Structures are given as structure tokens and as C-alpha cells.
Amino acid sequence: MRLISMLCVLAMMTVGLPRTLAAQVDVIRGKVTSAEGVPLGNVRVTATSIPGNVTRTTRTDSRGSF
């Protein structure tokens, strides 16, 4: 279930990724939870912009937020 939750978060994040401007700064925020809604801490979250092929990685806090 944890993998499914992470994949759902990654799929939702791709909607808000920057388009083509290198100087553009977007902030992606979210929360990773289990299927039961329990926040998952220390989960690695990676977002990659397709046009610029820029990857950013972070980890969730104890509340599942990033």
C-alpha cells in the first residue's frame, strides 16, 4: 500500500511541475499517507520536470508532509 500511495503522490505532482522557464520556481507541497490515512514519515519524494529534466528529492516529516 505504501508504494501505491507514493505513486499516487508522484502522479499528482506532475501536474504542477514547471513548464520551460529555468528561472521559474515552483513549490510542490503534499502529504504521503497509507491507504488507511495514517501519515507516513521519512518517505522519499522525488519530482522531475519533464521539459527541463530537473529532479528534486526530499523526505516527508513525521506528519507525512513535504
For the stretch 4-60, pLDDT in tens is 666 666 666 555 555 554 556 678 899 999 999 999 999 999 999 888 888 999 999
pLDDT value at position 7?
61
**In angstroms, what is the C-alpha Rg of the chain?**
12
What are the sequence ranges of the domains in the chain?
2-59
pTM above 0.85, yes or no: no
pLDDT value at position 29?
93
Q: Show Cβ contacts of residue 50 under 8 Å, excluding neighbours closer than 6 positions.
A: 14, 17
